[in-house]
């Protein structure tokens, strides 16, 4: 495999193909990045996703790509798609980390964490839908939607078989569970895996107009700002404004790629501690507009500049979310089945590392499987090496996410 960090050109068709057949369960950030990497290595890969089409789902609207995630994308994507992801991303936050009261009194101001400011060229914000569209570009029928994985077993000839909800079955040498925090693959492979509950949030997205931008406190538009009240509610927000308009970027770099248009927006998270509310049916069962109304109620006495973020949100795009953190697991012993991303090491968004770690897994697994394809390694040796390394750094990241940046001042009083 090409050195991580060095963009390279598309798959060389002259390269010898291999008989290895890999099924990736889950076409999220990690699964699609893996598929790009394997395809470039000439490895037969098919991605199965239960969703009917490429949708954002309820996973947040965007996130920060750090140096680790960027290196993985550079290693797995052909150069023109890597450049397209960079062009359609948003510049990283440039301001400070600032903590305010609900009345917008400044409690604390600190420089942003080093991972954001030390590498300003590397760190970018991405719109999740856009990144997924780029990651799925050129994969063609190697992605199958409406394919909900149910279970795997070993057939009479000793080959692994994945079974899907529609009754279909697919044989493989390797099944990769990249099916996110509720992973069905993990449910069968590591049934005792445990999780800690880190609370509930309401997620939203507020389209930015010049008039609204004038009303929102500047630190919420340019830095990493949070506001908290005495009842433990916390509002955080981050802006998405693409570096280059999508039509210009695709025309310049990849005219065949279609990207869904996305205007400037602020994505926000209202984190809650109200046990009564978050356990209630009206929280989990609410439609977007009803949930936005709940969020408006919760911040009704807050500063008008903060209320403006929630009052002007896209109501349909508001949804509830539970945050869970995986407990460490030992390596499993099922040959030919492995896990990647949130399926094994789901973590809190506290340090913004979940997607970046999923991308790192994808690049690492690509490199190990490239060794198999080139005859340098047996499949079992390659998977053992991947799992040992992935479990080490993956659960380090999980542990770090239990202590978000600036955790102490974020704690509610009393
Ligand atoms: C609000 C929010 C903010 C975040 N911010 C950041 C951030 O700033 N930085 C960061 O690094 N991370 C962030 N994260 C975490 C990040 O989103 C996840 O870690 C990342 O999406 C994990 O990628 P994945 O590929 O493992 O899983 P996912 O992206 O969740 O993809 C899983 C896929 O599997 C599919 N699937 C599920 N079950 C099945 C099945 N049975 N059969 C077939 N398909 C199935 C789903 O449809 C989905 O497409 C954030 C998360 C949230 C919720």
Distance CA(376)–CA(373), nearest Å, equals 8
By alpha-carbon position, which residue is closest to atom 20 of ligand 1?
Answer: 355
For β-strands 169-172 and 234-240, DSSP reports them as unpaired
pLDDT the model gives residue 17: 45
Report all structural domains of the chain as residue ranges with CATH numbers, in order of start.
21-410 (3.50.50.60)
Ligand 1 centroid–CA 297 distance in Å is 29
Per-residue pLDDT 10s for the chain (414 aa) are 444 433 444 444 334 445 899 999 999 999 999 999 999 999 999 999 999 987 656 667 889 999 999 999 999 999 999 999 999 999 887 778 899 999 999 999 988 765 554 455 568 999 999 999 999 999 999 999 999 999 999 977 778 999 999 999 999 999 999 999 999 999 999 999 999 988 889 999 999 999 999 999 999 998 789 999 998 899 999 999 999 999 999 999 999 999 999 999 999 999 987 666 666 667 777 889 999 999 999 999 999 999 999 999 999 999 998 889 999 999 998 889 999 999 999 999 888 899 999 999 999 999 999 999 999 999 999 999 999 999 999 999 999 998 866 666 656 554
Q: Per residue in 372-403, pLDDT tens? A: 999 999 999 999 999 999 999 999 999 999 88
| Closest atom, ligand 1, to C-alpha of 51 | 47
As given in the structure block, the two tokens for residue 384 are 């053992």
By alpha-carbon position, which residue is closest to atom 27 of ligand 1?
Answer: 180
- Gyration radius from the chain CA atoms: 22
- HSE value, Cβ hemisphere, 13 Å, CA-based, for 306: 27
By the 8 A CB rule, do 135 and 145 touch? Answer: no
By alpha-carbon position, which residue is closest to atom 50 of ligand 1?
Answer: 349
pLDDT the model gives residue 8: 43
Among 354, 360, 390, which is best to mutate for testing ligand 1, by the most ligand atoms less than 8 A from CB? Answer: 354
Ligand 1 centroid–CA 19 distance in Å is 29
Kindly state the greatest CA–CA separation across the chain. 68
Task: List helix spans (H) across 281-378.
Answer: 281-284, 288-298, 304-311, 342-345, 354-373
262: CB partners within 8 A, 6+ apart: 127, 129, 130, 240, 242, 246
- HSE value, Cβ hemisphere, 13 Å, CA-based, for 76: 35
Ligand 1 centroid–CA 180 distance in Å is 5
| Closest atom, ligand 1, to C-alpha of 340 | 26
As given in the structure block, the two tokens for residue 72 are 């993985």
Q: Which residues pair with 206 in a beta bridge?
A: 266
Closest CA to 364 of 344, 345, 341: 341
356 lines ligand 1 (CB under 6 A): yes
As given in the structure block, the two tokens for residue 94 are 């440039």
């Amino acid at each position: 495999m090409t050195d991580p960090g060095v963009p390279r050109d598309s798959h060389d068709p002259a390269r010898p193909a291999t008989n290895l057949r890999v099924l990736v369960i889950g076409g999220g950030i990690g699964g699609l990045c893996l598929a790009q990497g394997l395809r470039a290595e000439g490895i037969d890969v098919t991605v199965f996703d239960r969703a009917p089409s490429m949708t954002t789902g309820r996973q947040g609207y965007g996130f920060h790509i750090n140096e680790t995630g960027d290196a993985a994308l550079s290693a797995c994507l052909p150069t023109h798609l890597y450049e397209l992801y960079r062009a359609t991303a948003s510049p990283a936050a440039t301001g400070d980390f600032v903590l305010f009261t609900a009345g917008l009194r400044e409690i604390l101001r600190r420089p942003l964490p080093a991972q954001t400011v030390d590498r300003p060229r590397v760190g970018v914000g991405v719109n999740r839908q856009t990144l997924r569209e780029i990651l799925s570009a050129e994969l063609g029928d190697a992605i199958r939607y409406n394919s909900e994985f149910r279970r795997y077993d070993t057939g009479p000839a000793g080959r692994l078989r994945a079974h899907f909800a529609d009754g279909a079955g697919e044989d493989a040498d390797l099944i990769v569970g990249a099916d996110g925090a509720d992973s069905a693959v993990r449910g069968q492979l590591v049934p005792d895996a445990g999780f800690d509950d880190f609370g509930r949030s309401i997620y939203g997205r507020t389209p930015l107009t010049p008039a609204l931008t004038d009303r929102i406190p500047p630190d919420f538009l340019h830095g990493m700002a949070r506001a908290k009240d005495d009842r433990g509610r916390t509002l955080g927000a981050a802006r998405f404004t693409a570096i280059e308009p999508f039509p210009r970027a695709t025309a310049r770099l990849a005219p065949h790629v279609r990207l869904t248009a996305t205007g400037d927006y602020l994505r926000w998270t209202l984190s809650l501690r109200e046990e009564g509310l978050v356990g209630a049916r009206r929280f989990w069962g609410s439609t977007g507009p009803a949930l936005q109304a709940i969020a408006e109620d919760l911040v009704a006495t807050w500063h008008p500049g903060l209320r403006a973020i929630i009052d002007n949100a896209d109501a349909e795009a508001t949804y509830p979310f539970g945050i869970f953190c995986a407990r460490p697991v030992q390596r499993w012993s099922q040959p030919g089945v492995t896990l990647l991303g949130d399926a094994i090491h789901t973590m809190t968004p506290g340090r913004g590392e979940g997607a970046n770690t999923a991308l790192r897994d994808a690049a690492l697994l690509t490199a190990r499987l490239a060794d198999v394809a080139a005859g340098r390694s047996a499949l079992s040796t390659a998977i053992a090496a991947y799992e040992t390394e992935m479990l080490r750094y993956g659960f380090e990241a999980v542990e770090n996410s239990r202590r978000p940046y600036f955790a102490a001042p974020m704690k509610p009083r009393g």
